[in-house]
Amino acid sequence: MNEEIVQLTLLQAIDHIIDNIDSNIQEEQEALDIKSAELADREATIVSLTEKIETLEKERRMLEVEIADEMVNVKERQSKMMQVQTGREQTALLKEIEDGKNGVKEKENKVVAILEEVEQLTADIEENKNLFKGETELLLEETEKVRKAIAAISKKKKTQEKKRKIQAGKLKGQLLKKYDTLRAHRNGLGVVNVVSGVCQGCFMTIPPQQYNLLLRGDEHFDCPTCQRIMYHEAVEEAEK
């Protein structure tokens, strides 16, 4: 195989190790981010439940004021009953008293319903707070674990980066630049094998004349479709 290609493929092997390390770090971080987001959701739930209770309590206080007023009205009408002369006036007053009592009863039922709902919401908050506490502790542990894992992975990355620097030094500046640019724009793959006339980067068939030249094994070309640096390695083709 062409010497430049040999060095390039060695470089790409190191680069793939570094890529894997990077994605491992990212995965660790993302798992942690998801848990943090879940915890934030839990906190938001507690806030929203608390606000709901506040709204209900306000409503309950209003109802209680209305009930008190209504009861005063009922009492006033009851004492008026003594002074009423005609049967018609008495009937009208009795109706007002009845309506007032019904109104009080209705509002009292609403208050009871609110109290029950508040009780349920309070229990929900309590449950969420307990979960939040446990989850916060877990997240702290998890964060520490991830921090250590990332530190260990980063150490491996440093070793690989040193290797990469040495390997990159074996390549001509221009070719290295080309390879780096390709890798950046072509999904981390700058140099590719050609198997049965097909570029293993973009999986397009290359012109037969180019393939024939590649088969000689001492040259490399750019893929006409994806521009990646192509080479031919017979061993891999034989395996396929």
Binding mask 202-221 for Zn ion (x = CB under 5 A): x-------------------
Q: Which of 14, 114, 226, 229 binds Zn ion (CB under 5 A)?
A: 226
Which residue, 77 or 232, has its beta carbon nearer to Zn ion?
232
CA distance 70 to 100: 6
Binding mask 163-202 for Zn ion (x = CB under 5 A): ------------------------------------x-xx
Which residue, 100 or 201, has its beta carbon nearer to Zn ion?
201
Q: Which of 176, 223, 231, 232 binds Zn ion (CB under 5 A)?
A: 223
Binding mask 73-102 for Zn ion (x = CB under 5 A): ------------------------------
Which residue, 93 or 202, has its beta carbon nearer to Zn ion?
202
CB of 225 to Zn ion, least distance (A): 5
Pairing of strands 191-195, 229-231: parallel
- Using the rule CB under 5 A, is 114 a contact of Zn ion? no
CB of 11 to Zn ion, least distance (A): 19
CB of 215 to Zn ion, least distance (A): 17
Q: Which residue in 190, 185, 220, 225 sits closest to 205, CA to CA?
A: 225
* Total of residues contacting Zn ion (CB under 5 A): 6
Window contacting Zn ion (CB under 5 A); options: 15-23, 93-101, 211-219, 224-232: 224-232
Per CB under 5 A, residues contacting Zn ion are 199, 201-202, 223, 225-226
